[in-house]
Amino acid sequence: MKYPHNPYYNPDKLNLTLYSLDKDDTDYDYDTLCFWATEDGRVYTAQDSGCSCPTPFEEYSGFNQDEVLQKLERIDSAAKAQVIFENWNVYYDEKKTDPSKGEEVYRWVKGVLS
């Protein structure tokens, strides 16, 4: 069954604000870490990766915000968001993207939770 609202492509239809990070230099694949904020200041996260065939974050889709949020991980601090970013950013002996983006994640989440 297809759900009408994908939080990655349609965050506005779910009353969510999206902050996403992608692995640099991907061709026909994706490796994405996302954070979503609700209007009342809650923050959720999920990561997804794959080839060009599946739709990113399709397993997180739903009919409404509550249904989607049940599938995501809720985080309660900017420090936790930064750790999630740092763990996601590990790619063998390299980084998926600029490590300084961890500080951007920290500031974004802190701003939402304030």
Residues with Cβ within 8 Å of 20's Cβ and at least 6 positions away in sequence, in order, are 8, 32, 33, 34, 35
d(CA 19, CA 43): 10
pLDDT at 3 over 80: no
Q: Residue 105 has what pLDDT?
A: 97
Q: Residue 71 has what pLDDT?
A: 97
- Domain definitions of the chain by residue range: 11-113
Tens of pLDDT, residues 46-59? 999 998 788 899 99
Tens of pLDDT, residues 13-24? 999 999 999 999
pLDDT at 1 over 70: no
Tens of pLDDT, residues 5-15? 999 999 999 99
Closest CA to 62 of 40, 46, 81, 76: 46
| Cβ atoms of 74 and 110 closer than 8 Å | no
The amino acid sitting at 101 is K
